[in-house]
Amino acid sequence: MKKYKVGIIGATGMVGQRFVLLTAKHPWFEPVVLAASAHSAGKAYKDAVAGKWFMQEDIPESEGNLVVMDAEADAEKIASMVDFVFCAVNMKKDEIKALEEKYAKLECPVVSNNSAHRWTPDVPMVVPEINADHIQIIDAQRKRLGTKRGFIAVKSNCSLQSYVPALHPLMKYGVEKALVCTYQAISGAGKTFETWPEMIDNVIPYIGGEEEKSEQEPLKLWGKIAGDHIENASSPAITAQCLRVPCSDGHMAACFVSFKGEKPSIEQIKADWAAFSGRAQELNLPSAPKQFLHYFEEADRPQTKLDRNLEGGMAVSIGRLREDTQYDYKFVCLSHNTLRGAAGGAVLLAELLCAEGYIDAK
Ligand SMILES: NC(=O)c1ccc[n+]([C@@H]2O[C@H](COP(=O)([O-])OP(=O)(O)OC[C@H]3O[C@@H](n4cnc5c(N)ncnc54)[C@H](OP(=O)(O)O)[C@@H]3O)[C@@H](O)[C@H]2O)c1
């Protein structure tokens, strides 16, 4: 099979490094361009990340020798060399918006990890198991941008990638409200214990902007296409507190949920979780977990360190489902923030876009 040629914008960063590893061994994708800021451009990738390679695995040899390109200055050249780009950069929001639109208008599809375009009404924000149908809005986006191939698609924030999948199969019972407390790893801030020693033996009860994203983004995921935009859902009401905890990887969430009418039984909920699968499984996409939602009966699971890598870090672990005194039920859930929650989720989205014909190999 002919592989799709892929560019990684922000390849030297925490999420970018994951993209390099995931695409280097991918059956459909081949990383041919690694790009970052002017500061890294011109260096061999292995030199650009020297002293800041955060991954356990080594830098793949052929990617290590690629010369890093300048994502802004070399945009036209990059767009001509690849079939699409992944984008995960640390820049101001309006600069990211402009950069991503520039690539889209150069007829280069952008699959983004950044939050800049998540609220653009004709940009699909997709978890492939939940709202794969939203990619159809790309036709309207292309009309607005005046493009044939180019578009922007984004994945949602890492904080919600555990509790939204857990709540999704329960929506048919009429979820009225949910309360979530998230316990988020330091890699979510692009950090390690070496670069953020203040996090050792510490909890910080604030992550800028995270609570708003955790409360509002699910409503776009559960929205529907209405003409040339995605109309957000108006319920359930979600309230969130997001804490930074001393874990390297893995975001856990404690979730409380109430239903509008009669609540399902514990057995029904567990059966719904076990039976749940989405478009990613239907299409048998290479990065799709076989079983998306795993329920643990053990009282002390899921645990961040033990369970974050389940199914290559792409599955969601759930446990401790029980009745609550204020809400109908409570449970905990976990997902890997830089895999399912970032680069892995974007790779899965790109696979969906290729399988559904929105990205083609030039
Ligand atoms: N970490 C996570 O778990 C996570 C999860 C979901 C979403 N995200 C989002 O993903 C994005 C990247 O996060 P990260 O943690 O990977 O950040 P990071 O480690 O700080 O990496 C930032 C990347 O952006 C590049 N960059 C900075 N300024 C640039 C410019 N002017 N032009 C081109 N490239 C530029 C950097 O290149 P240089 O090395 O050359 O400076 C680097 O490659 C952010 O928007 C973040 O919110 C992160």
- Asked whether residue 1 carries a pLDDT value surpassing 90, the answer given is no
Substitution site in 15, 191, 213 for ligand 1 pocket (most atoms within 8 Å of beta carbon): 15
Q: What is the mean pLDDT of residues 62-67?
A: 96
Tokens linked to 74: 């070399």
The catalytic residues are: 158, 251
- Nearest alpha carbon to residue 8 among 64, 93, 78: 78
Give the residue, by CA position, lying nearest to ligand 1 atom 45: 114
pLDDT interval class at 343 (50, 70, 90):
very high
pLDDT digits (tens, 9 = 90+) for 277-303: 999 999 999 999 999 999 999 999 999
Instruction: Compute the chain's Rg from CA coordinates.
Output: 20
pLDDT digits (tens, 9 = 90+) for 129-178: 999 999 999 999 999 999 999 999 999 999 999 999 999 999 999 999 99
Beta bridge partners of 241: 181
pLDDT interval class at 2 (50, 70, 90):
confident
- Asked whether residue 334 carries a pLDDT value surpassing 90, the answer given is yes
Substitution site in 40, 45, 89 for ligand 1 pocket (most atoms within 8 Å of beta carbon): 89
Distance CA 317, CA 303 (A): 9
pLDDT interval class at 181 (50, 70, 90):
very high
User: What is the predicted pLDDT for the residue at 305?
Assistant: 98
- Nearest alpha carbon to residue 53 among 195, 265, 152: 195
- Nearest alpha carbon to residue 242 among 215, 211, 203, 202: 211
Handedness of CA 131, 314, 173, 118 (dihedral sign): negative
SS3 183: strand
Q: For residue 37, report the distance from its CA to the centre of ligand 1, in Å.
A: 10
User: What is the predicted pLDDT for the residue at 134?
Assistant: 98
Q: For residue 132, report the distance from its CA to the centre of ligand 1, in Å.
A: 26
What is the reported pTM? 0.97
Regarding the beta carbon of 248 and ligand 1, being less than 6 Å apart is answered no
Residues 93 and 17: beta-carbon distance below 8 Å? no
User: What is the predicted pLDDT for the residue at 71?
Assistant: 98
Distance CA 256, CA 270 (A): 15
Position 152: which residue type? I
pLDDT interval class at 15 (50, 70, 90):
very high
Regarding the beta carbon of 41 and ligand 1, being less than 6 Å apart is answered no
Alpha helices in the chain (DSSP H): 14-24, 45-48, 61-64, 75-81, 93-105, 128-131, 138-145, 163-167, 210-221, 266-275, 279-282, 304-307, 310-313, 344-355
Q: For residue 320, report the distance from its CA to the centre of ligand 1, in Å.
A: 35
DSSP characters over 128-155: HHHHGGGGGGHHHHHHHHT-SS--EEE-
Q: What is the mean pLDDT of residues 24-47?
A: 98
Mean pLDDT of the chain: 97
SS3 162: coil
Substitution site in 14, 22, 349 for ligand 1 pocket (most atoms within 8 Å of beta carbon): 14
